Amino acid sequence: MPKQRILVIDDEPLMREYAEEAMLRAGYRVDTAGNGADGIAAVNARGYDVVVTDLKMTPVDGVQVVQQVKADHPHVEIIVMTAYGTIETAVAALKAGAADYILKPFTPEVLELAVARALDRARMAEENRYLRAELNARYDFGAMVGESKSMAEVYEQIKKVAGSRATVLIRGESGTGKELVSHAIHVSSGRRDKPFIKVNCAALSAGILESELFGHEKGSFTGAHERKIGRFELADGGTLLLDEISEIDIDLQAKLLRALQEREIERVGGSETIKVDTRIVATSNRKLEDAVEQGKFREDLYYRLNVITLNLPPLRNRKEDIPALASVFVKRFALENGRAISGLSPAARQALLAYDWPGNVRELQNAVERAVVLTNAALLEPGDFQFSTIPPSRNGAAGLSPGTTVAEAERALIYVTLEHCNQNRTSAAEMLGISVRTLRNKLNEYNASTGDEE
């Protein structure tokens, strides 16, 4: 690790040399300046981790040094040395942006301790900035990659709807980024400082989902050993994402409709009416209109949800965004896996552009991650992407023989999709366009035929 750089500013040569010697003994790289103006110039020219400056100097005093340095380099820690240890001078230095002050005369140990504390603060501040950047990179509006016309329209829609409290329905194929868009709406709204809560409606049975959404009282059913606060209450003042809302049981839809209309809920087994200010964002990879016609989705709930609709384009309809998306994924997974991979070869880029990506952005992300993990080269090549492992949802009947029954083809498709998704049932169900419940029932059916029922 390189030594931290310290700048000492003092117009008294003996004090300047004293502080310099103390810092050198402590193992730091040290520069000095004989006045405030030279000190400011040195910071601008070379940059430092910590600046230690005298307070009483002319014509540029220590307070002016602090003000100028913090204005131009806000992350630099500054310690003020002063022989005038009054409350007024200390407060002036701290108000100007100094992190600490020490009184002259001081021992080398006092200065060393003050610098060590300043470096700790700088390190913690840098870690916090890094974590915030990581969170933004993963979840914020800026994490959405794409300059195509269709994505520009999505960005514009997000800006328009974010400031309202209206319910938003996000539609699109599996893997198009519906959850990312829902979070972008939240962080772009006035609710950004409140909770963003999500629930996967397809992954839970009707009874469990009701408890998850509305909560329950102690003793309301077998196993209810204590009161549970539901997602509506947890998201009060913020946003609740109802992922794959088409999978909600028809009987539970009536309670959801009341919650949306009246902005109030009742816990399972309770009688208290609880007011909630929760904004709803719902997603679906199916046409809710078809579910309404089939009697599987309430028409009144559909109209209540369909106040504002955002339609996300599939990746095959915005192929110009594929190189940028792939580059982002390469950098992310190379960093996470400690691989020295600089990007895609021209041939690999063309291969990605030539494929239709039935699993959309999620499939592209998984394909890039696999390629990064398995390659030994500095550039990803077409051979690093094993497209044959991707379910043939738009590639015809590849791998099937004439005479294969529909049931056999369905079973093969389910298993190859599960393999592609590393046995993640939620991802596999989304890619197949079915609910997790349906997938689980199919697997139980297959296992029962072999005597391995779950």
Residue 268 shares a structural domain with residue 328: no
* Within-domain flag for 226: yes
* Within-domain flag for 282: yes
Say what the pLDDT of residue 89 is. Answer: 74
Residue 330 shares a structural domain with residue 442: yes
204-254 pLDDT, tens digit each: 888 889 888 998 988 888 888 888 888 998 898 999 999 999 888 888 999
The residue ranking higher by pLDDT, 413 or 194, is 194
Tokens of 332: 């992310």
Q: How far apart are CA 234 and CA 244, in angstroms?
A: 20
What's the CATH number where 120 sits?
Answer: 3.40.50.2300
Handedness of CA 138, 140, 143, 146 (dihedral sign): positive
Answer yes or no: pTM beyond 0.75: no
> Which of 4-18, 115-129, 332-346, 359-373 ranks highest by mean pLDDT?
4-18
Tokens of 258: 């009341």
Number of compact structural domains in the chain: 3
Residue 273 shares a structural domain with residue 157: yes
The residue ranking higher by pLDDT, 399 or 101, is 101
**Residue 123: domain span:** 5-136
Residue 369 has pLDDT above 70, yes or no: yes
Q: Are 121 and 99 in contact (CB under 8 A)?
A: yes
* Within-domain flag for 454: no
Per-state percent for the chain, helix, strand, coil, to nearest 5: 50, 15, 35
Say what the pLDDT of residue 402 is. Answer: 55
Percent share of the chain, pLDDT over 90: 29
Q: What are the CA-CA distances from residue 254 to residues 132, 301, 331 (Å)?
A: 40, 8, 46
Q: How far apart are CA 306 and CA 3, in angstroms?
A: 59
- φ, ψ of residue 123 in degrees (nearest 5): -65, -45
The residue ranking higher by pLDDT, 189 or 88, is 189
Q: How far apart are CA 265 and CA 331, in angstroms?
A: 45
159-186 pLDDT, tens digit each: 889 888 899 999 988 888 898 899 889 9
* Residue the block writes with tokens 């001081």: 106
